Structure 1
């Protein structure tokens, strides 16, 4: 393919700097959005300007910071930053039914295909003042969200959202729900519920190469709608004080090459009776945990650098009806309170690799 045959968006999109004149992207400043420090900059005006720009077509933010209030977007949209200097700073959130508030709320009453959020910085003006960073909510049975990509979104680790950073919410258990989407290359914290969360998600969702750091919730918490399979969780760096991955009713989920650590230097493990392990598989089917580093934090120096803390009881914990699931090959599991791998499920069909070159290393 010659250069002149490339799509116009590729020719015009380019690297850093201002959005290129003549590109297919909209600069929201043409709708009245003003950056921090510009005379007349106002969060309410910026909110309306950005929503209008997103409704008109794909948006490319200039490499500037903008203050705004919570955004509601119905239908698919594209929001990209020029680079990480493209920052959205939320003074307030928008109300979300039964979920508190969100910086970005995307209700899904009908098909939402191809939404893209990419390459920008995104955080609240003050810590723990907005419940969710981004929440995508199923609001009607026929609705679904597919072919979506959340890529390279950086959230300020010192200014967390209260409950989740990114949430795929299908509490109504729509059978279509969420499928064929990617959350990758993001940095966020855990809220009280999770960092990256999904309830009743569907097939073919990939969560990879994210940093989920600090906080008191599970780093990645997912449940699946009946019959859904093939979720991939790979190459993430997860460091929560309340367990790293908690899965409920997932089928054929692949958990590969993740770094998972309870950071003892931040304090005691806080999972309690609800979360006892770094990785929990509850009522799951044919899930694999392979090539991961799993560090429970137990006995390691705490915040004072000397006194050891209590970490998680288990490294990998199989409970409920979890069946035909495999722990291995070649996980490295260390510093847990009771057992590196604990299977109390009712199935009797799970296994862990304990011999040969493919064995797990239980340090």
Structure 2
């Protein structure tokens, strides 16, 4: 899991919702649910409370659907079945969409993004439960099972090539959930909304008639912000070495470089804005692996993509279009 960015100025508008309306007369309505091992939230502005509630419920239902489908922990999920059996017949269209995005990102990043790193995560987690790290042999064994081309995606069937190959979609599923949830809100005629599934998607403006704003956590101080992002129609995702660290010095954590079988060493966090939350989600993970120089170079070639990278010494590098509000 990623440590979440946190709402800042947007929450100020939400807190005032109980006492007043926005300039348009719309009131702010919100809802929350559990998914992806955390609390997801939806906030919408609308004059009609009943319609707003229907939109919120539909958005939360979409996020819950993605969680049920793509959980690596739930034996009822299709992803669990794929990892257990090495194959899955008649995969859901949403699972196919996410797997195809994964393949596209792997090709784009020359393998920096790789959904088959799950064996490495398992090796480190099991070692952490014994208050240690995997041995060189255990790490090599996990790395030998990694390779994005081991996943074969066809309309009627998904296959994993090799023994004990396993897939995680933690680098895409929450972003995809945000995209589906936002689409559900807009289908109900809602023009102003902010969705937080661990990644952020927004549409329209907040109650103060300003851009929805999100505070990005400082990677070394959970009470501080590295910056405040004004969402300009793009989605936001942040990945960091602090989210699920295996060692107190953040050297070993939940993001893995497929080429080395261990965590990347340069960056502490990456925040990405992109046209979709799923793309922002995947790129934030890939950019952690690629490092600042390669990430900024690649982002410059991608329409609508900007990033803020922070290395382990605290050096911040923002691309020219990164929508920093404060």
TM interval, short-chain normalised: under 0.3
Higher relative contact order (CA 8 A, sep 6+): 2
- Tell me the TM-score normalised to structure 2 length: 0.25
The structure in which a higher percent of residues are strand is 1
Larger Cα-atom Rg: 1
**Structure with greater helix percent:** 2
> TM-score, with normalisation over the residues of structure 1?
0.23
